[in-house]
Amino acid sequence: MQAYEIRELKDDEIARRLDEAYEELWGLRFKHSTNQLVDVTQIKRVRKDIARLKTVQREREIWAEYDAQQEQ
């Protein structure tokens, strides 16, 4: 998932996808530890997706704080 796609999502959708990504990462790590994971690059992809989701989430928090300060 690309950052521009994430920015189009609502806050609750980002939170839901972040939870799903953490669950997927846990499953992939479990499969990797039991030697059942064939494509280990999936772990890297999910980690990057989590980073993108958290980045956009933090951007929105910062903008909300900035807007609140401007209103005062």
- Residue 40: pLDDT over 90: yes
How much is the pLDDT for 18?
Answer: 98
Angle 52-55-56 from CA coordinates, rounded to 5°: 90
Please name each of the domains of the chain with its CATH number: 3-71 (1.10.287.310)
Using CA atoms, how far residue 35 sits from 25, 32, 46, in Å, is: 15, 5, 18
pTM: 0.91
Query: Which pLDDT value is given to residue 1?
Result: 85
- Sorting pLDDT into bands at 50, 70 and 90, what band is 71? confident
* Span 14-33, pLDDT tens digits: 999 999 999 999 999 999 99
